[in-house]
């Protein structure tokens, strides 16, 4: 992690004050806004600087090797499990908004990419998934002659009034480390939001853990909403952190009240720290593994900066056939539990895997951006006993490849690659495989001619690679990348008729990250 000097901290504070990064919606570039420049200058000239916190300590992240190029003639198959997690992006956002660059190990490129909406065509329920492929030369590519290819997987959307009932068992960390407004306080407000979105026929149970675990609320129909809200309101911090006991009791309660006609899910809200009882990650993961096969899925929701275990929260969700999100604000909680409620709660496919077969007569070499911890052996693509990824209703999954074409391939009908998606349908257990070919003629001639949301995906990936100091990162600056994202944001607004606040915020985050570089 790179630290900046005190003057850099003041500049970051001034920028945050000027643009309101915690809830920004504008897209103006700071360096091109005279009023903002005057405001920043005034802030820098202020006689007293506000207190600025140190970088968060005791943050736990897993180190993964960065994927390199693979020669297609030697190995033309690339196979990985899908990933719809977004926690890495929101953790990194918190770092940058607080005036610090995130540790390199905190950055997982696929979670940055999958945070954003790409508006792929939505398939019917009968199709379950649609596959979109496009590509173009990239101004950020390792070599200017290289192309970026995007593979987009879109799940069908279930209307809110048609989704299956849910039986939710919340396992809430109430240990002393959670006694902060941005931890237990934020968890309670997030739960209020969620319960208010549920239907009377849904049901909720609450388990808490500190030094020990206990049931605060037995499984209760949401028709008794006030009972549930009152139970949430009474939560308070206590004791140390016995995560294993909390998860064990949560799964036990969920099993006792298992509803075969509903979606049964455990939702863990925690900072991921375990310091009481069984504390080893292997033993805690074993608890999850033993229950995952019973049809009870797991969502993990991370909270807090400092003394936070990203690694455990991500691995728990992976082992529990669910997904991992990190909530850094009430706006992010609203996104997860209100705007995307159905996809958060309803899984439509499990053990989903992607295999891309590159044509070695057209492609010299390729590299997958991210997904370093999602590898699946090529021979296991059709082995349906291998655990892979889960996808919620309406969720999309995006993967980017950088490819180098062999010289002289101008035939528009020449096959570049074939993408295959294989998954198991929830409910029926039917295994389905679908494929989509991609040809030279489908590559756009220039980056600017490609779809605006393709450009967005490529720019987001580049942001991740720059933060991670990838050897394949662009040689340009974060400030230049921010300007490129602003241009993309303007194009999206023009094409779609409405500003995308996530893209506008991204441009400002990238610019702020530039100011934090040594």
Please give the biggest Cα pair distance in the chain: 70
Is residue 48 predicted with pLDDT exceeding 60? no
What span, in angstroms and rounded, lies between the C-alpha atoms of 333 and 387?
Answer: 29
Query: Would you state the pLDDT for residue 158?
Result: 92
281 pLDDT band (50/70/90 cuts)?
A: low
**Mean pLDDT score, 379-386:** 95
pLDDT at 239: 82
**Residue 235, SS3 per DSSP:** coil
Q: Are 324 and 369 in contact (CB under 8 A)?
A: no
For the record, the structure tokens of 501 come out as: 């606040």
Residue pair 217/230 in contact by the 8 Å Cβ criterion: no
Q: Please state which of the ranges 101-115, 281-295, 399-413, 488-502 shows the lowest mean pLDDT.
A: 281-295
pLDDT band for position 410 (cuts 50, 70, 90): confident
pLDDT (0 to 100) of residue 169 = 97
Between 51 and 306, name the one with better pLDDT.
Answer: 306
- What's the pLDDT score for residue 7? 37
Question: What is the mean predicted confidence (pLDDT) over 120-141?
Answer: 94
pLDDT on residue 4: 40
Tokens of 425: 């349908």
pLDDT in tens, 441-456: 999 999 999 999 999 9
Q: Return the percent helix, strand and coil in the chain, to nearest 5.
A: 35, 25, 40
DSSP H/E element including 421? strand 415-425
> For the whole model, what pTM was predicted?
0.87
Query: What sign does the dihedral 380-385-120-457 (CA atoms) show?
Result: negative
Cβ–Cβ under 8 Å, residues 109 and 65: no
Taking only the tens place, the pLDDT of each residue in 335-364 is 999 999 888 989 999 999 999 999 999 999
Structure tokens at 29: 């570039």
Residues 6+ apart with CB under 8 A from 88: 106, 107, 108, 111, 112, 310, 326
Report d(CA 440, CA 451) in Å as an integer: 16
Residue carrying structure tokens 């006030």? 226
Instruction: Please name which of 508, 511, 516 lies closest in space to residue 22, comparing C-alpha atoms.
Output: 508
Cα distance between residue 227 and residue 218, in whole Å: 11
Q: What is the pLDDT of residues 18-45, one digit of tens each?
A: 333 333 333 333 333 333 343 343 333 3
User: Is pLDDT of 15 > 80?
Assistant: no
Tell me whether strands 415-425 and 431-439 are parallel, antiparallel or unpaired: antiparallel
Share of the chain above pLDDT 90, in %: 70
Measured CA to CA, the distance from residue 127 to residue 164 in angstroms comes to 19
Residue 35's pLDDT is 38
Using CA atoms, how far residue 94 sits from 49, 102, 193, 229, 287, in Å, is 21, 9, 21, 28, 30
- 192 CB contacts (<8 Å, ≥6 apart)? 229, 232
Helix (H, G, I), strand (E, B) or coil at 201: coil
In which element (H, E) is residue 342 found? Answer: helix 341-345
Output the pLDDT for position 89.
98
State how far the Cα of 430 lies from the Cα of 438, in Å rounded to an integer.
Answer: 27
Q: What is the pairing mode between strands 147-155 and 129-137?
A: antiparallel
The confidence score (pLDDT) of residue 244 equals 86
Please report the pLDDT score of residue 233 as a whole number. Answer: 96
- List, in order, residues 6 or more apart from 112 with CB less than 8 Å away: 88, 89, 92, 370, 460, 461, 463, 464
> 203 near 167, Cβ under 8 Å?
yes
Give residue 518's pLDDT: 63
Tens digit of each residue's pLDDT (9 = 90 or more) over 187-207: 999 999 999 999 999 999 999
At a CB cut-off of 8 Å and minimum separation 6, what does 239 contact? 174, 175, 176, 210, 211, 212, 276
pLDDT value, residue 275: 63
Question: What domains does the chain contain, in order, with CATH numbers?
Answer: 6-69+449-516 (no CATH), 111-157+350-442 (2.60.40.1230), 160-345 (3.40.50.410)
Q: Which of 289-293, 329-333, 386-390, 399-403 has the lowest mean pLDDT?
A: 289-293
Which pLDDT band holds residue 53 (cuts at 50, 70, 90)? Answer: low
Residue 9: the pLDDT is 37
The predicted model gives 478-494 an average pLDDT of: 96
**Residue 460 · residue 468 · CB < 8 Å:** no
Mean pLDDT for the chain overall: 87
Confidence check: pLDDT of 49 > 60: no
State residue 319's pLDDT score.
85
Percent of the chain past pLDDT 70, that is, above it, reads: 87
CA gap 506, 488 in Å, rounded: 11
């Amino acid at each position: 992690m790179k630290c900046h000097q005190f003057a850099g901290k003041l500049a970051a504070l001034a920028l945050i004050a000027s643009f309101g990064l915690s809830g920004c919606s504008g897209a103006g570039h700071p360096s091109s806004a005279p009023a903002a420049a005057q405001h920043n200058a005034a802030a820098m000239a202020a006689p007293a600087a506000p207190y600025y916190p140190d970088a968060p300590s005791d943050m736990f992240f897993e180190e993964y090797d960065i994927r390199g190029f693979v020669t297609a003639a030697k190995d033309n198959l690339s196979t990985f499990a899908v990933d719809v997690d977004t926690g890495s992006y929101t953790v990194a956002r918190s770092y940058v908004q607080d005036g610090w660059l995130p540790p390199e190990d905190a950055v997982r490129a696929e979670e940055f990419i999958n945070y954003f909406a790409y508006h792929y065509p939505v398939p019917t329920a009968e199709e379950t998934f649609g596959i979109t492929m496009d590509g173009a030369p990239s101004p950020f590519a390792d070599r200017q002659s290289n192309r970026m290819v995007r593979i987009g997987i879109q799940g069908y959307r279930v209307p809110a009034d048609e989704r299956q009932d849910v039986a939710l068992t919340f396992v809430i960390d109430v240990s002393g480390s959670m006694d902060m407004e941005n931890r237990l306080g934020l968890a309670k407000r997030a739960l209020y939001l969620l319960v208010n979105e549920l239907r009377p026929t849904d049901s909720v149970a609450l388990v808490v853990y500190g030094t020990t675990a206990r049931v605060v609320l037995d499984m209760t129909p949401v028709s008794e909403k006030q009972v549930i809200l009152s139970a949430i309101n009474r939560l308070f911090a206590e004791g140390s952190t016995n995560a294993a006991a909390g998860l064990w009791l949560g799964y036990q309660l969920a099993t006792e009240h298992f509803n075969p006609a509903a979606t049964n899910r455990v939702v863990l809200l925690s900072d991921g720290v375990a310091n009481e009882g069984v504390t080893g990650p292997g033993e805690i993961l074993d608890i999850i593994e033993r229950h995952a096969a019973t049809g009870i899925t797991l969502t993990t929701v991370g909270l807090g900066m400092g003394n936070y275990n990203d690694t455990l929260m991500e691995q728990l969700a992976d082992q529990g056939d669910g997904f991992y999100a990190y909530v850094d604000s009430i706006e992010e909680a609203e996104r997860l539990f209100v705007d995307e409620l159905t996809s958060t709660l309803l899984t439509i496919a499990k053990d989903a895997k992607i295999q891309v077969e590159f044509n070695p007569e057209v492609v010299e070499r390729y590299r997958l951006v991210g997904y370093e911890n999602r590898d699946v052996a090529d021979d296991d693509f059709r082995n349906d006993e291998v655990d892979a990824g889960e996808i919620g209703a309406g969720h999309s999954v995006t993967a980017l490849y950088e490819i180098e074409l062999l010289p002289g391939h101008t035939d528009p009908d020449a096959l570049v690659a074939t993408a295959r998606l294989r998954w198991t349908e929830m409910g029926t257990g039917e295994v389905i495989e679908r494929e989509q070919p991609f040809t030279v003629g489908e590559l756009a001639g220039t980056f600017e001619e490609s779809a605006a949301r393709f450009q967005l995906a490529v720019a987001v990936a580049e942001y991740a690679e720059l933060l991670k100091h990838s050897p394949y990162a662009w040689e340009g600056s974060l400030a230049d990348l921010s300007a490129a994202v602003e241009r993309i944001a303007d194009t999206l607004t023009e094409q779609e008729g409405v500003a995308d606040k996530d893209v506008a915020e991204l441009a400002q985050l990238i610019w702020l990250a530039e100011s934090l570089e040594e």
